[in-house]
Structure 1
Amino acid sequence: MMRYTLEVEKYGIYCDGTEAATTTAGFNQALKDASEAGICEIDIPKGIYLIDGVNEESALKPEEHAGIIVPSNMTLNLHPEAEFRVAPNGSFGYTCFYIGEVVNVTIKGGKIRGERYQHDFTGHGDFEKKETHEWGYGINVHGARNVVIEGVDIADCTGDCIMVNAQGMLNVSWTTYRPARNITIKNCKLDGARRNNISVTGGEDVKIHDNEITNAGINDGCMPMFGIDIEGYGEGDIDYEEPRNVKITNNTFAGNVAQSVCNFSGYEVVIDGNHSDNSISYGYGTDTVIANNTLVRKDKKYTAITGLGVSAGFNGNNATITGNTIKGFSSGIDVRGADVTVSGNTITELSADGIALATFEAKNVQFSNNTVHHTAGKHCCARNSSDVTFENNKLNGSDITAIEIIDSDNVIAESNKIKRSKQGAVITRSSAKLIDNDVDLTEYPPSAVSYAIFFDKGSNVFIKGNRIPEPTNMAINGESAEGRTVRIKGNDITNAKCLIPIYVIGGKNHEISGNDVTFNRTSSGGYGIQTKNTDGALVKENVVYSVNSFALYNPIKTAESINSRVIGNKISGNLALNKTDIETNNIPI
């Protein structure tokens, strides 16, 4: 490989930050000559280089074929004190280094500075859609292949520090689509772009790693103001450009205004091992992995990991969110869309009105093996969703409720460990199964503790195998209505301090069976299982007794209901039945 140190004087290049047009033309001539001579590596000496980044010959796209135009098979080694400054202008688009439909290009080192703080935003000619002036780039990778951007310090562009985009468009007949391919951005400092620090719109096999990505969108920026935005252009279910196979690893994100990373509409995107102080989102993306990131804030604002929904034309997101550590946000993980797995995340110190693990208008979502602690707000919430499972999560210390299910269908909460919370689970206007959960509210102040499990009359519930120790308020309490299903089976309620561990009001043909209820009160009284205003409830094979000398009022009370069937229960004390009830095979103990 032939290597060459650029002769700035030979090409009329000014090193003092003046004469933008002459300097830019000199660079382009020097690179052209080197390429024709077979030189593949150029060292650029220190200096301040003012660059004309506007292609005046293109009224619609002045950022294309603009600035320093890098040829194929070229490595540019920028001296650490080589600073390229875009000349102040009023154009809606510009580029400092343009890498367009070439191959095998590397840019290393140096500094690039946009002119956002000297830019003239007042004019945009006849192009009203360009009035935001958001197409000013430090480096524009446009349909190129095999590009490496390494160790470059880029800041203050009116658009993005780095743009990775395609030539042409997909799914149209008048042009050929040529995405940027095999692009690597590493060890760079990218700061203070007015829009995004990096955008990938039409790129494939893009690797972004070990960069410092900071302050996108600060000082009255332009939407969306993301550290990294993965966002192809499309209409409905038709893509005109696609970001594919993008890997974002081991970067540090700080101060980016809206989000650190958003996979708005990309495919096969991996966001792994980054440190972030703002949100990471799978957006409408498909086949996204968000893994092993550390997300930390100090002000308890924003949601750490988010989504938007399913992309048009697809069945689901197929997103995986795993192994992340989240601390100090308002909320933890908010799932929208469909087909999302959330596992092995640790969430702590959220705001008191935030939610650690949530769904909204989502379906087929699995939350498993997550840990939530030192968080006073809700820990799990399924809202307006279907086919949601909360399984084997450790939920510790909510001042509201550990699990809330509202306006949702087919929600399963299974084998979760709930401790030191005000309330275990609340089910509202939903169909839900609560199976084999440990709901231990004993460490919460007894005067403030609420129900371990509560459901309303708009819900269908199956409550089975839950373990509820020492409840000071009702362990399982709910209302029902005709047409709703209530099944309460095989729950273990031990050393109850409350008056009524299981209490069901209203509805028809409920089943309350196989539950073990023991009392350890400090005074006499209480009902182990009580129904009120129900019709046809089956109360079968429950065990109800006191472990000390204080007697219950009644182990089972159905006197305020009708047509109950009280069968095969093992009880201490007398039953309180209605004259319409059927009572058989109950055994005193």
Structure 2
Amino acid sequence: MKKIITLLIALTLLSCGNPTPNPSRGDGDKTIDTVIPPPPKPVDSVPVVDTIPPPPPPVVEDTIIPQKPVYAIYTLDADAYGIIQGKVTDAQALANRYALEEAIQDAAEKQVDTFKIGVFDGYFDVSTVTSQTNKNFYPWVEGINIPSDFNLVMSDSTYLRVQPNNSPRYSLFSLYFSDNTYIEGGHLIGEREFHTWSGSGSDEWGHLIDINSSQNVTINGVEAKRGNGDGLVVHSREFSFKENYVPAKNVLIINCKIIENRRQGISITDGQDIIVEDNYFEGTGTTVGNSEGTNPRFDIDIEPYRERSKETGEIIWYEWVENVTLRGNKSIGSDKGSFIVAGGKNILIENNHVAQGMGNKASEGVVIRNNVCENYDENYTILPGIFAGDGTEVYGNTINGFSHSVHLSGENVEFHDNEARDFRSAGLYHRYNLKNSRIENNTFISNSPKAYAMFLHLATIENTEIINNTFESVRSALKTVSVNEGNDYTFMIEDNEFKSRDRNTVFKSSGIKFVGNHFNNQLEFKESTDIEVEQNTIESTTDAIVFKEDVGTISIIGNKLITGGKCTEAKFDPANLIEHSNECIYQ
């Protein structure tokens, strides 16, 4: 039987007698004279419309939360639409989804600006393919669709739950080409611990909020919990190189709680001008009940899809991400990592507090600054506190705990003015290629009995400066193994402070220039060549510099050697040792 729904809408006048213009609908500076009739008496079982003045937009740091002028509020009457709350059959959960969408559409057609859901707890089937002719799953068909020019405001007593299912995909909320949309509050709950596996794969695509080719979207203060895939996903409908490509754009995700989602907290695979700010992440990718997490298991993963052309060898970006800010978020207890940037351009990560690793692997113009990364869990060894690839600038960060504090790789990396403490294995650990980069004014200090302050291992380092840092550890403050082995690359270690209880060793390495450093312990060379040691101060209770086993060309010039043994000690006759102008002080 067709529902007769009465919306009681009142327009609130400004002091001049005109409603607030709504730029998102193109009202601009229009003037409309409106006479407000007296409010009619409430009618039982009819949704009630409350009239309130538009609230001022709240401000968080430098980010303004967009909020359209509120002309009227429509409050959902679940009974009027036949929505049954609590646990229900699959058929009723599907009927609930149809009914909620009908209520939303009714409000949208009547141009109600804000749709409210108060005390509510219900299940919705958003996984069943309902088409009789097309058996493909489309979230914008089967999910709860949120239309354009729409405010959805849920209370802290609002719970929308995904009906348990065996589908590899679902989206509880679908924003598909949905522009000028605002969603606030409420609890969106997935079904990961009740999911029945489809048998056709990892079933990792069950998302709670799906933002697809939508623009001017705000998600504010929503809890997204226990999705079988991601809490939220931001992407676009078509490939980035197609004429009909419409990117997701101007998306703000703020003040949300994103808890125990099985795959990711937030995935951003395509979009522009996206801010993720002041959110709380917990337990991403961890095991919940009998539901194990699945990779990648990051709180935030920025990862546009790409392939390398078989014909030209060039990278083809099927998706593209640009201008993203991750700011002021807090993350604890994710299974693998906090934030990863694996593609895109112009990404800023600042003022976050995380308990797992973060960094950039394959993006342009990434800045990681003023974050706190802390992890004292000895079982967490997956990632360092910060990892940085091509074109990344990293500064002002505090990195405490972790097995390794920092991994650097690629070209044009700037790592400066950071502080790393209490690392269990290595502070600065390098096992990759590094070129045209600079590591400056950092502090690496640990009292862990197994820690090296700087460990360069199986690496190539070219045209790079490691300058004016403090390296302090129990084991070697400096250890290199197989660095630039078999090539002619060179790099500079200059004006650093090395302090340790154990000797410093250079093994199977070449192309290193030590200039102006201070070592408080012995410097030892084994199977290394093309090494320059100039104008350093080396203090040792035993021999200051020791050469062992097949040392090639090494120059020791103009150093101050303070020793309790010999200034230089060769365990064999080095063929190409250049040694002069050194000051030797016996203690």
* TM-score, structure 2 as length reference: 0.79
**Counterpart Cα distance in 1 of 2:279 and 2:210:** 18
Is the 8 Å Cα contact of residues 379 and 402 (structure 1) preserved in structure 2? yes
* Correspondent of 1:34 among 90, 107, 110: 107
Deviation at 1:407, TM superposition (A): 2.3
Deviations 1:386-410 (Å, cap 9, x if unpaired)?
Answer: 2232211111223134343632231
**Counterpart Cα distance in 2 of 1:391 and 1:359:** 19
**Counterpart Cα distance in 2 of 1:140 and 1:213:** 18
Segment of structure 1 superposing worse, 60-69 or 70-79: 60-69
Deviations 1:441-488 (Å, cap 9, x if unpaired)?
Answer: 3xxxxxxxxx2x22234321111110123x222212225869x43221
Q: In structure 1, what is the equivalent of residue 333 of structure 2?
A: 255
Q: Structure 1 residues 360, 264: CA separation in 2 closer, same or farther (over 3 Å shift)?
A: same
Is the 8 Å Cα contact of residues 214 and 249 (structure 2) preserved in structure 1? yes
SS of the residue corresponding to residue 103 of structure 2 reads helix
* Correspondent of 2:368 among 290, 297, 307: 290
Segment of structure 1 superposing worse, 400-409 or 509-518: 400-409
**Counterpart Cα distance in 2 of 1:67 and 1:307:** 37
Q: In structure 2, what is the equivalent of residue 444 of structure 1?
A: none
Deviation at 1:223, TM superposition (A): 0.9
Deviation at 1:375, TM superposition (A): 4.0
Asked whether 1:429 is paired with 2:501, we answer no
**Counterpart Cα distance in 1 of 2:417 and 2:580:** 34
Which amino acid letter does the alignment assign opposite residue 146 of structure 1? N
Q: In structure 2, what is the equivalent of residue 71 of structure 1?
A: 147
Deviations 1:45-93 (Å, cap 9, x if unpaired)?
Answer: 2111211212513633343433210111111110110100011111111
Stretches of structure 1 lacking an aligned partner (at least 5 in a row):
125-130, 310-316, 442-450, 521-589
**Counterpart Cα distance in 2 of 1:64 and 1:37:** 22
Q: In structure 1, what is the equivalent of residue 167 of structure 2?
A: 91
SS of the residue corresponding to residue 101 of structure 2 reads helix
Q: In structure 1, what is the equivalent of residue 230 of structure 2?
A: 160
Is the 8 Å Cα contact of residues 452 and 476 (structure 2) preserved in structure 1? yes
Q: Structure 1 residues 54, 97: CA separation in 2 closer, same or farther (over 3 Å shift)?
A: same
Alignment map for 1:3-82 (pairs within 5 Å): 3=72, 4-18=74-88, 19-54=92-127, 56=129, 57=131, 59-82=135-158
**Counterpart Cα distance in 2 of 1:87 and 1:116:** 10
**Counterpart Cα distance in 1 of 2:136 and 2:297:** 23
Q: In structure 2, what is the equivalent of residue 478 of structure 1?
A: 547
Is the 8 Å Cα contact of residues 108 and 151 (structure 1) preserved in structure 2? yes
Deviation at 1:104, TM superposition (A): 0.7
Alignment map for 1:357-436 (pairs within 5 Å): 357-376=429-448, 377-383=451-457, 384-387=459-462, 388-404=464-480, 406-408=482-484, 409-436=489-516
Q: In structure 2, what is the equivalent of residue 488 of structure 1?
A: 556
Deviation at 1:420, TM superposition (A): 3.5
Is the 8 Å Cα contact of residues 405 and 411 (structure 1) preserved in structure 2? no
* Correspondent of 2:299 among 189, 212, 227: 227
Is the 8 Å Cα contact of residues 292 and 322 (structure 1) preserved in structure 2? yes
Is the 8 Å Cα contact of residues 150 and 180 (structure 2) preserved in structure 1? yes
Asked whether 1:241 is paired with 2:309, we answer no
Q: In structure 1, what is the equivalent of residue 584 of structure 2?
A: 517
Is the 8 Å Cα contact of residues 420 and 427 (structure 2) preserved in structure 1? no
Is the 8 Å Cα contact of residues 302 and 321 (structure 2) preserved in structure 1? yes
SS of the residue corresponding to residue 514 of structure 2 reads strand
Deviation at 1:105, TM superposition (A): 0.6
Asked whether 1:274 is paired with 2:352, we answer yes
Is the 8 Å Cα contact of residues 75 and 118 (structure 2) preserved in structure 1? yes
Deviation at 1:508, TM superposition (A): 4.1
SS of the residue corresponding to residue 35 of structure 1 reads helix
Asked whether 1:205 is paired with 2:273, we answer yes
Q: Structure 1 residues 500, 202: CA separation in 2 closer, same or farther (over 3 Å shift)?
A: same
Asked whether 1:324 is paired with 2:397, we answer yes
**Counterpart Cα distance in 1 of 2:550 and 2:564:** 29
**Counterpart Cα distance in 2 of 1:213 and 1:344:** 27
Deviations 1:350-398 (Å, cap 9, x if unpaired)?
Answer: 21x3343434233233211111112441211333222232211111223
**Counterpart Cα distance in 1 of 2:401 and 2:341:** 23
Segment of structure 1 superposing worse, 277-286 or 50-59: 50-59
SS of the residue corresponding to residue 209 of structure 2 reads strand
Is the 8 Å Cα contact of residues 75 and 116 (structure 2) preserved in structure 1? yes
Asked whether 1:341 is paired with 2:419, we answer no
**Counterpart Cα distance in 2 of 1:299 and 1:112:** 30
Is the 8 Å Cα contact of residues 543 and 564 (structure 2) preserved in structure 1? no
Q: Structure 1 residues 157, 181: CA separation in 2 closer, same or farther (over 3 Å shift)?
A: same
Deviation at 1:502, TM superposition (A): 5.5
Q: In structure 2, what is the equivalent of residue 147 of structure 1?
A: 217
RMSD: 2.1
SS of the residue corresponding to residue 88 of structure 1 reads coil
Deviation at 1:509, TM superposition (A): 4.9
Q: In structure 2, what is the equivalent of residue 538 of structure 1?
A: none
Deviation at 1:33, TM superposition (A): 1.9
**Counterpart Cα distance in 1 of 2:326 and 2:142:** 28
Q: In structure 2, what is the equivalent of residue 549 of structure 1?
A: none
Which amino acid letter does the alignment assign opposite residue 6 of structure 1? L
Deviation at 1:425, TM superposition (A): 4.8
Which amino acid letter does the alignment assign opposite residue 269 of structure 1? I
Deviation at 1:308, TM superposition (A): 8.0
Is the 8 Å Cα contact of residues 54 and 62 (structure 1) preserved in structure 2? no
Identity %: 26
Q: In structure 1, what is the equivalent of residue 526 of structure 2?
A: 456
Deviation at 1:320, TM superposition (A): 1.3
Which amino acid letter does the alignment assign opposite residue 334 of structure 2? N
Deviations 1:163-215 (Å, cap 9, x if unpaired)?
Answer: 1111111235xx62222111111111101111001100112111111111111
SS of the residue corresponding to residue 169 of structure 1 reads coil
Q: In structure 2, what is the equivalent of residue 181 of structure 1?
A: 249
Q: In structure 1, what is the equivalent of residue 15 of structure 2?
A: none
Q: In structure 2, what is the equivalent of residue 113 of structure 1?
A: 189
Deviations 1:11-61 (Å, cap 9, x if unpaired)?
Answer: 222333432122211221122122222211111121112112125136333
Q: In structure 2, what is the equivalent of residue 447 of structure 1?
A: none
Is the 8 Å Cα contact of residues 374 and 385 (structure 2) preserved in structure 1? no
Deviations 1:225-264 (Å, cap 9, x if unpaired)?
Answer: 1111111111121110012211111111111101111112
SS of the residue corresponding to residue 193 of structure 2 reads coil
Which amino acid letter does the alignment assign opposite residue 162 of structure 1? L
SS of the residue corresponding to residue 156 of structure 2 reads coil
SS of the residue corresponding to residue 80 of structure 1 reads coil
Structure showing greater radius of gyration is: 1
Deviations 1:290-310 (Å, cap 9, x if unpaired)?
Answer: 22111112223323335486x
SS of the residue corresponding to residue 99 of structure 1 reads strand
Q: In structure 2, what is the equivalent of residue 265 of structure 1?
A: 343
**Counterpart Cα distance in 1 of 2:180 and 2:172:** 19
Q: In structure 2, what is the equivalent of residue 499 of structure 1?
A: 566
Aligned residues: 491
SS of the residue corresponding to residue 107 of structure 2 reads helix
**Counterpart Cα distance in 1 of 2:585 and 2:572:** 21
**Counterpart Cα distance in 2 of 1:499 and 1:265:** 53
Deviations 1:399-449 (Å, cap 9, x if unpaired)?
Answer: 1343436322312110001124312352533110000001123xxxxxxxx
SS of the residue corresponding to residue 103 of structure 1 reads coil
Deviations 1:269-320 (Å, cap 9, x if unpaired)?
Answer: 11111111111121222222222111112223323335486xxxxxxx2011
Which amino acid letter does the alignment assign opposite residue 404 of structure 2? S
SS of the residue corresponding to residue 32 of structure 1 reads helix
Is the 8 Å Cα contact of residues 284 and 335 (structure 2) preserved in structure 1? yes
**Counterpart Cα distance in 1 of 2:272 and 2:137:** 23
**Counterpart Cα distance in 1 of 2:136 and 2:351:** 39
Deviation at 1:109, TM superposition (A): 0.4
Is the 8 Å Cα contact of residues 506 and 528 (structure 2) preserved in structure 1? no
Deviation at 1:341, TM superposition (A): 1.5
**Counterpart Cα distance in 1 of 2:135 and 2:325:** 34
